[in-house]
Amino acid sequence: MNRCISIHAACMVNQPMNNSMLECLLDQLRPYFTSIVMDALAKVQLEMNAESNFPEKINITQASEITGYSKNSLYQMHSKGTIPGALKLGGKLLFDTATLKSWVNSGGLR
């Protein structure tokens, strides 16, 4: 613990850190970076699983053409959970074609 206090003191007076200080700093930062990496890997895994379960995906423009709803309406419906077959993947809203067409054919939300 004294090493870590030395790191703080060295940073406060702008002195170079020695190996011991750097090791302590790495020990403190390791859990933080591990958490970031694990979260990123989990997100990638979810996206990969979603893509494999979503073989016929279309974008929001195509979904708008199929449904007759505006893009804004589709975004709102997705956020409310009132449209089936929608998935946010990599920051984009995608739709499963078969699910969306089936929903439209059954009367949709109108």
pLDDT at 90: 76
Judge whether residue 70 has pLDDT over 80.
yes
Domain ranges of the chain: 2-45, 57-105
Tell me what the mean pLDDT of segment 32-56 comes to.
72
Among residues 63, 57, 61, the alpha carbon closest in space to that of 83 is found at 63
pLDDT at 1: 46
d(CA 99, CA 97): 6
Supply the pTM of this predicted model.
0.51
CB atoms within 10 A of CB 63: 25
Residue-averaged pLDDT of the chain? 79
